[in-house]
């Protein structure tokens, strides 16, 4: 049983490393006019049969646990081994000020079993004063039939015009978040 949790932890850690490696910035200068929101297909079918990525439009797709915080409008990523909730763009209180980050994570369980999310939240942080404000979440590939599921998160990131005044709309940051299908060797039991 403990080995199963270590494998899930390794999957989440691998996904976070992939996010960091695929982070790419755009050029500076000017207002970026990023259209905010969550874009892509909704989840469909039943929680037990759904595989892929989709916008949660029904509470039955959310999973419980002592730290579960997912809500309708968030994005669910799910394969046969793991399920993850990415929080929709929003403003939060506390250190993780903005949405777009991993909010919930759990091993895949049948809907008849209660969820056991104990993940908390993970978010990028640059100096304690700058957190990435993801304004747009876009599901690029929602179906494992077309390869790994992919979600792109887009935001503006502060860069400095001078040494004293940050420009909070001058740099576009896009991060790709992906999980493999159940047939991937990295998800083999």
Does residue 162 carry a pLDDT above 50? no
Mean pLDDT, the chain, whole residue set: 75
pLDDT at 156: 67
**44 has a pLDDT exceeding 60:** yes
Contact partners, residue 134, CB within 8 Å, separation at least 6: 89, 98, 99, 100, 101, 153, 154, 155, 175
SS3 34: coil
Residue of higher predicted confidence among 168 and 116: 116
Q: Give the residue, 180 or 136, on which the prediction is more confident.
A: 136
State the pLDDT confidence band at 181, using cuts at 50, 70 and 90.
Answer: confident
Q: Average the pLDDT over 57-80 and give the result.
A: 92
The secondary structure of residue 31, as a DSSP letter, is: -
């Amino acid at each position: 049983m403990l080995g199963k949790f270590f494998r899930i932890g390794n999957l989440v850690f691998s996904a976070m490393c992939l996010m960091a490696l695929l982070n790419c910035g755009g050029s500076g200068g000017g207002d970026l006019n990023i259209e905010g929101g969550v874009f892509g297909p909704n989840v469909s079918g039943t929680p037990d049969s759904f595989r892929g990525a989709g916008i949660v439009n029904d509470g039955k797709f959310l999973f419980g646990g002592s730290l579960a915080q997912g809500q309708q409008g968030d994005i669910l990523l799910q394969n046969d081994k793991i399920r993850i909730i990415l929080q929709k763009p929003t403003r939060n209180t506390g250190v993780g000020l903005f949405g777009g980050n991993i909010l919930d994570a759990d091993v895949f369980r049948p809907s008849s079993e209660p969820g056991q999310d104990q993940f908390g939240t993970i978010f990028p942080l640059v100096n304690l004063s700058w957190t990435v404000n993801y304004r747009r979440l876009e599901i690029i590939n929602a179906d494992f039939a077309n390869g790994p599921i992919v979600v792109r998160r887009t935001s503006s990131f502060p860069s400095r015009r001078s040494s004293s005044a940050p420009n909070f709309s001058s740099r576009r940051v896009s991060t790709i978040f992906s999980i493999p299908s159940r047939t991937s060797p990295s998800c083999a039991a």
